[in-house]
Structure 1
């Protein structure tokens, strides 16, 4: 049987849900489909469960950092109980989504959607015809051709482990590996990160990354550079990981976790039948997030390889797509001031220009930087590694970039993102220009903009 709609959205994550809800509110007939549980990556396999696990790791780290400073005795993570607590956040999501779609008058379909023509898809044995489609299918772990790659555990699976293995090797030195490694180490696992090149967390300031690497080592995380994965093999009692040139380095593990990044999850959509052009990276879109070959199709969130794989960016993409569907192509996505944060311990965050980018583009800037480990916000919790960098436009003092390692770095960076978005200067953030709550981590922005620090 064939059903007709104004809009069909593929994917029930942040981007897909926002688009479906706003277009339905505008009076369009809308259907939404997903082959996984309704809710998307952030709610079920990303931000939300990750941060719940991370909160427990922070408690353990905080207790350790304050040991001898008024704290005595040990503290440990009960992994099964922690995962049970995590599930109290994630388990209700699919049913709530389904109920919400029903209440909003959005028809929901379960199954893998596949294009059968430029304006038709097939899902769960039903044919859906629509004037417009949105692909918001999210991302999946990057496929690897390495021998034994099928023995790896994905980050999705890691977040719901019933038992935490003793020896864990993370492949790749990006967000996923660092965040989950800090959780696993605080939960008592022996943790190793293998990075194929000589640099980890490449999107972040290298000096602050070096400090985070040091802090990670002190937490018991063994980070090995220039260790490309060669193979993974089953062995009695576990797994053997071979890495480095010709696999000469051997690491024994009970679990190997895929942390080599994620790519757009679009492989199963039969895009060619929908005349949706792709290249080696993914779906080819114009500045309006519209397919260049099939104008009936828009792309949003992680399914769009041009956008950064962050939940707020998925929301931004959704707003762009909704505006263009309802009002004609007029809105473009602006990714210039997107803050990013790694929720390791300590956390690392950045927004705006990096030193490398500024130098490459010949931008003249003044640098304010310093060690914040002796500042109050760090000392009071025993944090040994904290630092910052600010890039200020040389002639005006306008804030061009901010980079923070330390407690609440993700919160601090939001204020800098706001400042950059509104072309604020360092003088606009001093305590002469505004009043901050004190004592707080954000109050220390007043020291950063004045260039204080070791």
Structure 2
């Protein structure tokens, strides 16, 4: 057995790296282990590369919106292979940069599959290690599917590595992945179909704005089939036959590619957490509010590996990683602050939210002033030719504080941050409205939304 570490971090994504750097810089003996290249889902296989690909979609969409308004989009097209090369220009250097940063803070970097062997021990590809504490930040994997032919689907990682884009693409599930990728694919010339078994996709977002997004999606060729369940997938030559069931009838959709977009679960199954006496479920390791395992005090968890109140977002993972590290260093029991953290679906245009949904606010007993505004005709959208945009701001009538904000429109992924700050700091709508923004900018619309 090697010398005991102060901390071993399982997972070299954003949560794990944040914690490892913090503890390493404090003088602890720290190691990070991951079987995949360092950087995690967000930097290598998710948020960042996705939004690079989205840039191509933005340009095509922007040109089409200005058709007949001084811009001729004829002949404008995405070169998929060149766009992918642009993506790799960002992602390829990430692992080495991550390792260099970790080593600069005295953190040892290990490569291989980690597996717990006891309460304070694990092995990496058979090599034993011992530590006083562990942070599990192993990320998430696509939710297992039980229908026949599920193994024929590709996941989001595979989609972000496609060297060529097929013409017909079927996305399974109505969440972030399906909508974001479908919007990219549609602007790149593909014909995407989203199959969702529920009545309303993107159910974490405001239902009225989701319907606006669905209508806007249809206008660029993204088809949505609701209350439709996948029965099976079969393949003949290069064509996939997807059997689906809706309204009691089964039919077949032919497509060139099937993409898994039906949610993710914590990637814990291979860690042998039972050997460490760590309780966990599909949402992650069961932890106290301060992120310590409820059944093994040596183990903490963060990000997708932790069953917490935080949304499955990269900024949340980073916050949890830093809080877990601080709690370990100080012997404290501080819980993360999740107030005012926005989320966005980066379709074109984007859909964003922060704080409570309208139904949540009312269920919590708030007397809610719902301020809905169709902004499709406002200057900031007229300028670029966009007609589909709206905002819904929820204000508590009792004290004027902002309970939630829901936005759909161009650049609203930036505008939502103002509302997030207001919620975090407990500002009233009147206080936020007093902000003077650069004009004319999308931010200058803020006051008129309140």
Q: TM-score range by the shorter chain?
A: over 0.9
Q: Does the 8 Å contact 2:266/2:282 carry over to 1?
A: no
What residue number does 1:149 align with? 150
TM-score (norm 2): 0.97
Query: Structure 1 residue 235: deviation in Å?
Result: 2.1
Task: Indicate the SS of the match to 1:358.
Answer: helix
Query: Structure 1 residue 396: deviation in Å?
Result: 2.2
Could you list the runs of 5+ residues in structure 1 that have no partner in the other structure? 450-454
Q: Does the 8 Å contact 1:173/1:201 carry over to 2?
A: yes
Query: Structure 1 residue 280: deviation in Å?
Result: 4.9
1:101-141, Cα deviation, whole Å (9 max, x unpaired): 22322111110000011001100332110000000001111
Partners of 2:435 and 2:313 lie apart in 1 by 30
Partners of 1:214 and 1:244 lie apart in 2 by 23
What residue number does 1:63 align with? 63
**Number of equivalenced pairs:** 447
1:295 counterpart = 2:261? no
Task: Indicate the SS of the match to 1:229.
Answer: strand
1:279 counterpart = 2:281? yes
Query: Structure 1 residue 153: deviation in Å?
Result: 0.7
Query: Structure 1 residue 334: deviation in Å?
Result: 2.5
Partners of 2:279 and 2:432 lie apart in 1 by 46
1:220 counterpart = 2:227? no
Alignment equivalent of 1:365, drawn from 363, 368, 381: 368
Q: Does the 8 Å contact 2:283/2:306 carry over to 1?
A: no
Distance 1:48 1:247, change over 3 A: farther
Partners of 1:196 and 1:359 lie apart in 2 by 27
Q: Does the 8 Å contact 2:165/2:190 carry over to 1?
A: yes
Query: Structure 1 residue 354: deviation in Å?
Result: 1.2
What residue number does 2:179 align with? 178
What residue number does 1:234 align with? 235
Query: Structure 1 residue 398: deviation in Å?
Result: 1.3
What residue number does 1:396 align with? 399
Query: Structure 1 residue 309: deviation in Å?
Result: 1.2
What residue number does 2:252 align with? 250
Q: Does the 8 Å contact 1:229/1:247 carry over to 2?
A: no
Distance 1:329 1:92, change over 3 A: same
Out of 147-156 and 91-100, give the one that drifted further.
91-100
Query: Structure 1 residue 244: deviation in Å?
Result: 1.6
1:272-305, Cα deviation, whole Å (9 max, x unpaired): 0111112353311111111111000000111113
Partners of 1:403 and 1:126 lie apart in 2 by 50
Partners of 1:112 and 1:369 lie apart in 2 by 50
Give the ranges of 4+ consecutive aligned residues of structure 1 lying more than 4 Å apart after TM superposition. Answer: none
Out of 40-49 and 393-402, give the one that drifted further.
393-402
1:206-243, Cα deviation, whole Å (9 max, x unpaired): 00000000000001001010111111111233101111
1:76-109, Cα deviation, whole Å (9 max, x unpaired): 0000000000000000111122222223221111
1:191 counterpart = 2:211? no
Partners of 2:307 and 2:70 lie apart in 1 by 49
Q: Does the 8 Å contact 2:435/2:447 carry over to 1?
A: no
1:130 counterpart = 2:131? yes
1:238-387 correspondence runs (5 A): 238-245=239-246, 248-306=250-308, 307-387=310-390
Distance 1:392 1:319, change over 3 A: same
1:313-367, Cα deviation, whole Å (9 max, x unpaired): 0111012101110111321023232211010011000111111112222210111
Q: Does the 8 Å contact 1:109/1:124 carry over to 2?
A: no
Q: Does the 8 Å contact 1:49/1:159 carry over to 2?
A: yes
1:411-433, Cα deviation, whole Å (9 max, x unpaired): 11100000111111121122xx2
Partners of 2:104 and 2:366 lie apart in 1 by 52
Partners of 1:244 and 1:160 lie apart in 2 by 30
What residue number does 1:437 align with? 438
Partners of 1:295 and 1:165 lie apart in 2 by 49
CA RMSD, aligned part only?
1.2
Partners of 1:247 and 1:321 lie apart in 2 by 50
